[in-house]
Amino acid sequence: MRIRPVGRASIRELGMARTDVVVLGAGMVGVSTALALRRTGLSVALIDRRAPGEETSFGNAGVIEGSAVFPVSFPRDIAVLLRHALKQAPQSNYRLAALPGLLPWLLAYFRASGTAGLTASARDLRPLLAQARAAHHGVAQAAGAMD
């Protein structure tokens, strides 16, 4: 199974070849996605502006962190909500004109951020994380990167 990373210099070549799927980003997620697609028999082009693993995966060392499984909740504290509303919180940015369209999503996020919703989300994420960790190790072993 071969996946050829495509950089800027050879992007024109890609137009000549038949490709079923183009995956943008050659970090851990992109490479894993490309490998999974190849296993199904699809031809895959993996495109990144740099060599595989030199962007986001480089910064976090390709680590899947098991202790960070608890989901991020919608703020309930009035002072924190005001910072977001006044665009003084770096975690959020929005256009005022977009708020009516975002309102249903924000309300659903708020409702899901209660204790019961967060507990259920964390419980549901655990098996996914276990699968992700096992798949991650498989990719790292195949790449000879377990040392």
- Give residue-wise pLDDT tens across range 12-33: 555 556 789 999 988 878 888 8
pTM of the model: 0.52
Q: What whole-number distance in Å separates Cα of residue 22 and Cα of residue 45?
A: 5
Q: What whole-number distance in Å separates Cα of residue 83 and Cα of residue 12?
A: 47
Mean local confidence (pLDDT), 121-125:
87
| Residue 103: predicted pLDDT | 92
| Residue 66: predicted pLDDT | 66
End-to-end CA distance of the chain: 23
Say if residue 8's pLDDT is above 70. Answer: no
Confidence of residue 104 (pLDDT cuts 50, 70, 90): very high
Confidence of residue 5 (pLDDT cuts 50, 70, 90): low
| Residue 40: predicted pLDDT | 95
| Residue 42: predicted pLDDT | 94
| Residue 2: predicted pLDDT | 53
